[in-house]
Amino acid sequence: MKKLGTEGSQSPRPADSAEPGQPPPARLRLGSALAFAGFAVSVVAGLFHADSASANDHPATFAEYARSGIWTAVHLGQFAGMALLVAGLLVLLMMLKAPEGPIAWAARFGAVAAVTALALYAALQAVDGVALKQAVDAWAAAAEPEKAARFATAEGVRWLEWGMRSYQSYVLGAALVLTGAVVVGAGGTARLAGYPMAVSGLAYLAQGWIIGSEGFSAANTIPTLAGIALILVWSVWLLVVAWPKRAPSLGRTPR
């Protein structure tokens, strides 16, 4: 005799468990939380960043940087924000059930690009947050006969910053485009976040070109704001789909 309730019925699936073949919801929550935290930390740190009317007006900009007493701390905060964002991308790339073929390769290259972007950003913040601060402080404190030489040194560091920021934007943009393609290709509820994620990558690619050719000019305003807004959109969307009572579909369910 069959025991009542042992066959012909299924026990309810826990709300926090994944569908067969899909990633655990906890990982989606971790990836989305890290990405959003990175966005938030970067924005907050940026609010304390000393900015003049025109970043390409070096005498005015350097004087303002020299007056800043929290310059190095602000850039450390910005690095922490980028580290959190990249960690979120890596978690997403590792957990997504991307189909084999081009999407799987996009996930691999996206992970490499994300790690490279963080390494470049660390070097960038060392140049901007430490070397440039020391150079502008030395210029501001120099006696008049030495000011021209000190200013030339500070400008050289600034141009090095342009180059590093340009290529870091290229690599970060590539990481976001590739991760967006993987999110879309993996299917499920979260795929909608992949589209603004990829477009945010395009905004960073545009930033890389503008900074490399014109420095921190006004032409970079729209790509910068677009990149920030789009990161907010896709990170919030991932947060929304990561915390329903039932886990969202994020990977392809095997037939």
Average pLDDT over residues 212-240: 93
What are the percentages of helix, strand and coil residues in the chain, rounded to 5?
75, 0, 25
Summarize pLDDT for 130-147 with one digit per residue, the tens: 999 999 999 999 999 999
Summarize pLDDT for 180-189 with one digit per residue, the tens: 999 988 877 7
User: What pLDDT was estimated at residue 51?
Assistant: 74
Does this model's pTM top 0.85? My answer is: no
User: What pLDDT was estimated at residue 45?
Assistant: 93
For residues 202 and 173, give the distance between their C-alpha atoms in angstroms, rounded to a whole number. Answer: 6
197 close to 178: Cβ distance less than 8 angstroms: no
Q: Residue 214 is encoded by which pair of tokens?
A: 């014109």
* Domain ranges (residues) in the chain: 25-242
For residues 60 and 16, which has the higher predicted lDDT (pLDDT)? 60
Q: Residue 255 is encoded by which pair of tokens?
A: 């037939």
- 3-state SS, residue 84: helix
